[in-house]
Amino acid sequence: MVASTAGEVAMSSEEMVYNVVLKQAALVNKQPSGVTRDLDVNPDIALPGTLSLLSEAYDRCGEVCAEYAKTFYLGTLLMTPERRRAIWAIYVWCRRTDELVDGPNASHITPTALDRWESRLEDLFRGRPFDMLDAGLSDTVTKFPVDIQPFRDMIEGMRMDLRKSRYKNFDELYLYCYYVAGTVGLMSVPVMGIAPDSQATTESVYNAALALGIANQLTNILRDVGEDAQRGRVYLPQDELAQAGLSDDDIFAGEVTNKWRNFMKNQIKRARMFFDMAENGVTELSEASRWPVWASLLLYRQILDEIEANDYNNFTKRAYVSKAKKIAALPIAYAKSLLRPSRIYTSKA
Ligand SMILES: CC(C)=CCC/C(C)=C/CC/C(C)=C/CC/C(C)=C/[C@@H]1[C@@H](COP(=O)(O)OP(=O)(O)O)[C@]1(C)CC/C=C(\C)CC/C=C(\C)CCC=C(C)C
Ligand SMILES: Nc1ncnc2c1ncn2[C@@H]1O[C@H](COP(=O)(O)OP(=O)(O)OP(=O)(O)O)[C@@H](O)[C@H]1O
Ligand SMILES: [Mn+2]
């Protein structure tokens, strides 16, 4: 809790987001079939003609996913067919949401357009999808205990991107990272499922999923400092920049100084802490979901190593994980995915 100048006690972003995590975990725990401990997928309702349309919708989601993120697409191929296509549908919705503010038409996007996107979201959750790609997600949310809240929150993140280009402190940045990336973790867990033999609490798994989203987004921000500055955006916490003796002008100048290197070292350290927090949760996921998530974690975390290898020049050099390194990470991810969920051992006195 943070006491404001007016005397009232305000909640920190971390506390606010934790409340969302608790709510999401409780909603999933309430499911009658105990779905998080391995999923019973609701069967398709067999209406002639509908099934082939639906599988076409999912195929389209798979194609979009393969086009935008090849390695990730490969990872999903290891999941069960129902989970794989559900993750594709979620991916496509997230990608389309991000494209609204980041894509080629971004300069025409208004808060009203985001409101319309949100009503489309409400409609697809009510079983009235607007187009084929929405139809995939509309089906997914009837089969898995996916809640609308993280989707709404991602749109809120896009609204934030429209109205804000500076972040006063890490608390503000944390909230942004939750909206645009932590939400992805909360959307994905109900599909990926928690291993039936996991003894972890549902909220601890959701917390780890949230941490992976935050870690990915912090890494994305550190990788794209130069690119974002060209669009007039600085996602780095202003108070931490000032403490390091830096300002926006240093970022626009783009010179790698010792002050910048030291600042970056601390930012990288924090992103790694979030990856560490996520690690314990991956082991608790259902078996076939662990490999793609480990792959994603190891690959994205390596971007931080590449920033270091570039001597912290994230102004003009894009940190990039080579194909060879990506391929090398996959068997490591596989080996890690063989680790079984944690057991609670009772020690004998
Ligand atoms: C298996 C797996 C990784 C599943 C998640 C798949 C999924 C639904 C991804 C959606 C990603 C997306 C398009 C989000 C929109 C907002 C956005 C662009 C966020 C940034 C992603 C990076 O994308 P990219 O490198 O292409 O960035 P550019 O647009 O090019 O700048 C983010 C950095 C965030 C992505 C966040 C995740 C993938 C969350 C991962 C967490 C989980 C899957 C939970 C795992 C569970 C446990 C228990 C650890
Ligand atoms: N193996 C993977 N499993 C799960 N997620 C992944 C995997 N690889 C990448 N991702 C995720 O997919 C998104 C896109 O990744 P990235 O930008 O590296 O493109 P890519 O398509 O994987 O690369 P390439 O096209 O060179 O194979 C990121 O959000 C990243 O976290
Ligand atoms: Mn983006």
Nearest CA to ligand 2 atom 30: 296
Phi-psi region of 34 (alpha: psi -120 to 50; beta: other; left: phi over 0): left
How does 181-205 read in b/e, with b if 16+ C-beta sit within 10 Å? bbbbbbbbbbbbbbbeebebebbbb
pLDDT at residue 49 tops 70: no
CA dist., res. 168 & res. 237, Å (int): 6
**Count, residues in the chain:** 349
Nearest CA to ligand 1 atom 39: 213
By alpha-carbon position, which residue is closest to atom 15 of ligand 2? 69
Cβ 256 vs Cβ 230: under 8 Å: no
In the predicted model, what is the mean pLDDT of the chain? 90
Where residue 342 falls among pLDDT bands split at 50, 70, 90?
Answer: confident
Q: Name the strand (E) or helix (H) holding 335.
A: helix 323-337
pLDDT tens string 133-142 = 999 999 999 9
Contacts of 180 (CB under 8 A, 6+ apart): 98, 154, 157, 158, 161, 217
**Tokens at 157, concatenated:** 């993140």
Ligand 1, pocket residues at CB < 6 Å: 87, 90-91, 94-95, 98, 102, 180-181, 184-185, 188-189, 205, 208-209, 212-213, 216-217, 220, 278, 281-282, 285, 292-293, 296
Q: What is the pTM of this model?
A: 0.90
Q: Please, which pLDDT band fits residue 288 given cuts at 50, 70 and 90?
A: confident
Q: What is the ipTM of this complex?
A: 0.81
* The three-state (H, E, C) secondary structure of 265-283, written as one string: HHHHHHHHHHHHHHHHHHC
Rounded to whole angstroms, how far apart are CA atoms 311 and 293? 28
Residue 135 corresponds to which amino acid?
A: A
Q: Whose CA is nearest to atom 7 of ligand 2?
A: 72
- Cα of 181 from ligand 1 centre, angstroms: 6
Give the tens place of pLDDT for each residue, 70-94.
Answer: 878 888 888 889 999 999 999 999 9
Tokens of 257: 């100084």
**Is the model's pLDDT at 42 over the cut of 70?**
no
Residues with CB under 6 A from ligand 2: 69-72, 75, 216, 292, 295-296, 299-300
Question: Regarding beta strands 234-237 and 166-167, do their DSSP bridges make them parallel or antiparallel, or are they unpaired?
Answer: parallel
pLDDT bucket at 346, cuts 50 / 70 / 90: very low
DSSP 44-77: PP--TTHHHHHHHHHHHHHHHHHHH-HHHHHHHT
> Do 136 and 89 meet the contact criterion of CB atoms below 8 Å apart?
yes
Which of 28, 184, 297 maximizes ligand 1 atoms within 8 Å of its Cβ, making it the mutation to test the pocket?
184
CA gap 172, 253 in Å, rounded = 25
Residues in contact with 38: Cβ distance below 8 Å, sequence separation at least 6, in sequence order = 193, 194, 195, 196, 286
Cα 133 from Cα 96, distance rounded (Å):
10
